[in-house]
Amino acid sequence: MDLDSVIRKVPDFPKPGILFYDITSLFTAPAAFAFVIDEMVKHYASVKIDGVIAIESRGFLPAAPFAVKKGLPLVLARKKGKLPGKTIEEDYSLEYGTATLQVHETDLTAGKNWLIVDDLIATGGTIEAVAKMILRRKALVAGVFGIIGLPFLKYEARIGKYRPKTLINYQGE
């Protein structure tokens, strides 16, 4: 499957000089979307995973069908203020400032192996924030999955120890 042909590339978004890789086009191509889920199932067939943590919001889309196929609980990592009840949270860096991700405290079970799923891995900041919450809850990171990787932004330096897996990589323009 040629995923590159399905990914919409939007120049100068969200600002001039940025080439935005828009995976929403992937979800309009059922065969491509099914391919992504099948590849996830194949890649993690022999990895001990007790649950999946999906990062808002496009990470929810591949994580949900994967979790269903594997019979695993799905936990949502949301932007601050989106979850009711008691949460744990972690800040991460943005280009101009910081943001915060939260997870329901009771959903993130200690002693379990969690797969972190996002749509795209750029600098690894959001993945690292979720990994910190997992570790703080005395659980383990079983791996990291992203449909797209941008290795030229050097995410391996930040999250390489969590064995990130991507299906398509872009080297920058």
Closest C-alpha among 134, 154, 143 to residue 48: 143
- Please give the single-letter amino acid code of residue 107: D
Distance CA 137, CA 29 (A): 37
**Catalytic annotation, residues:** 58, 95
Distance from the Cα of residue 120 to its chain's centroid: 6
Number of alpha helices (DSSP H) and beta strands (DSSP E) in the chain: 4, 9
